[in-house]
Structure 1
Amino acid sequence: MRVFLTLARAASLGRAGQVLKMDPATVGRRIARLEARLGQRLFQRSHQGYALTEDGLRLLPHVEAAQAHLRAAETPSDSGSGLSGQIRLGAPDGCANYLLPQVIANICAEHPALEVQIVALPRVFNLSRREADMAIGVSAPQAGRLSVQKITEYHLHFAAARDYLDRHDPITRVADLRGHQLVGYIPDMIFDSELDYLARLDLPAAQMTSNSVPVQLNLLRQGGGLGVVHDFALPHAPELQRVLVKAFSLTRAFYLIRHADDRRNTRLGQFADALRRGMCAQVRQLEGAVLQAELPAQAISENP
């Protein structure tokens, strides 16, 4: 069962072997033996790796539940309510890079026996295939056997490097952006309509694009132009300055997405509560730091 669960998450004999400290061929033999014993094909083999079949997907939650019960039984009675074991969390790369590190570090400091894996991918996670134990999304899924909870709202604005702004005329309205280079997402790689920030603006297509939020941020830091940036990412890029703050502002939200079968999993529930509290506090802190940093400049402009 342990080999099955590891291969389901790793999707590769080689990666599963590394986790299990087994030869990949041994992993393959164990899975073949399990399939023969159950009389079911649990994995579909292809050049892309190992993917769970329908039989494998049906078996997976039972194995995960057995693992959770075993971990609970192995936990010493004097360990209090501390979390332990491994939890894999999927998240968009902007959230994973600029918001989650401090949140997860704080949770793990409080629960030393807990291992958290952050999988940062610019796409939607497939929880039905157990790519992660839970995922953070920028919209609430409307299909699937999922449990969805809103975590917190966050804000986005146009921003550019200060030296870029110094080399150009002041930008006072959205129409002024037509004379500037824009940074944004690769259009056909926008995996959620909530990320199509420029869709409703009458502006030329972005000249510099990436499916990665950190790449977009670094393009802006190098003076590449203007782009829409998460306010919570700005403290990580002090070279950037928000523009058109009153003329253009977006509000989006993060959602915690879990498989419906996990709603009664106490361990995952405790982690989810800690994650929500931490993310709410971190967004408030980082966005507040941006506002505080802009106060002196605003005071000067209002009182010349």
Structure 2
Amino acid sequence: MNNWDDMRVFLAVARAESLTGAAPVLQMDPATLSRRIARLEHALGAVLFVKSPQGYALTDLGERMRDRAAEAESHLSLAFDEGQGASAALSGQIRIGAPDGVANFLLPQVCAAIQADNRELEVQVLALPRVVNLSRREADMAITVSPPAAGRLSVDKITDYHLHLATRADEPAIETLADLRGRAIVGYIPDMIFDKELDYLGALGKQGVHLASNSVAVQLQMIRRAGVGIVHDFALPFAPELRRVLTDQISLTRSFYLVRHASDRQSDRLSRFADALTSGLQAEVVRLERIARLTGGALI
């Protein structure tokens, strides 16, 4: 490998597992990336990717090289932090991976406030209906609903949040669980629930749903039409026609965690951002849940 630019191209393709996925990250066209990868493999005298119509999969050598390159990238980031100085405004790019509920209803406000105080900072939100793979450096940090059980990761609890059953205010009254009969139940696609904390059917005593999506935002839109489902309290202010129901019988509490590479705790820049992100999320959950209680806390 001749220089850091070659490493940057290699890492981007390795993480995206395709040329088209890496192209916007590097601001290069796929044809140029293909030539760059071919030139790199020729210089090394080794194959780094298995190419197919499905994308670019790393060989065993490619995986080992990716891990080393990611480690070097982390050290370069720390060097950048030292040069930036602890008192300076944050700059550069920081990517956060998050479930789409957080990404849709919390992060836009929180990230906008952080960026307003750090004009040279670029904040990217990677919204995925799955756990973000930090080991592949898909993101600099991730928000999860369960603390990871393995990996060289640093985990800090951000805050608890609450969920309740909700439906349209103009729908027939729901005063008992029996009133759910005949209603369209909205929820996750069962075989696409990526975390056990997202399985809410037990609270409803139901075996399945009638309208399903792997996206919290889509579920909310389904409930807004004519359904009933478990909704994050912090999402309710974005759907004022909905009201919480059966709050004394169905009330769920879950938690958000901030997950980072353990080595990134040495980064003043990332740590300062993580602190701002955590405090911003805590305040935003409190603010939005208070609105939900004031406008949708009564039984219908």
Deviation per residue, 1:220-251 (Å, 9 max, x gap) = 1112x210000000000001000011111000
Identical columns (%): 57
Q: Distance in 2 between matches of 1:66 and 1:36?
A: 27
1:255 aligned residue:
257
Structure 1 residue matching 2:174: 3-state secondary structure: coil
Q: Distance in 1 between matches of 2:198 and 2:257?
A: 14
Q: Distance in 1 between matches of 2:215 and 2:88?
A: 37
Task: Rate the CA distance shift 1:25–1:136 in 2: closer, same or farther, 3 A.
Answer: same
Q: Is 1:68 matched up with 2:77?
A: yes
How many residues in Structure 1 have an aligned counterpart in Structure 2?
291
Gaps of 5+ in 1: none
Query: RMSD value over aligned CA atoms?
Result: 2.5
Alignment partner of 2:20 out of 10, 14, 18: 14
Q: Distance in 2 between matches of 1:19 and 1:201?
A: 43
Q: Distance in 2 between matches of 1:118 and 1:132?
A: 9
| Matched AA of 1:136 | I
Tell which deviates more after alignment, 127-136 or 91-100.
Answer: 127-136
Alignment partner of 1:274 out of 273, 276, 279: 276
Deviation per residue, 1:59-78 (Å, 9 max, x gap) = 23233235425644775x7x
Task: Rate the CA distance shift 1:279–1:17 in 2: closer, same or farther, 3 A.
Answer: same
- C-alpha contact (below 8 Å) 1:41/1:55 kept by paired residues: no
Q: Is 1:116 matched up with 2:123?
A: yes
Deviation, 1:134, is 1.2
Deviation per residue, 1:181-240 (Å, 9 max, x gap) = 2111111111111011112542352111111111110011112x2100000000000010
Deviation, 1:285, is 0.4
Q: How does 1:166-245 map onto structure 2 within 5 Å?
A: 168=172, 170-223=173-226, 225-245=227-247
Relative to the length of structure 1, the TM-score reads 0.86
2:4 aligned residue:
none
Task: Rate the CA distance shift 1:195–1:19 in 2: closer, same or farther, 3 A.
Answer: closer
- C-alpha contact (below 8 Å) 1:157/1:242 kept by paired residues: yes
Task: Rate the CA distance shift 1:6–1:191 in 2: closer, same or farther, 3 A.
Answer: same
Gaps of 5+ in 2: 1-6
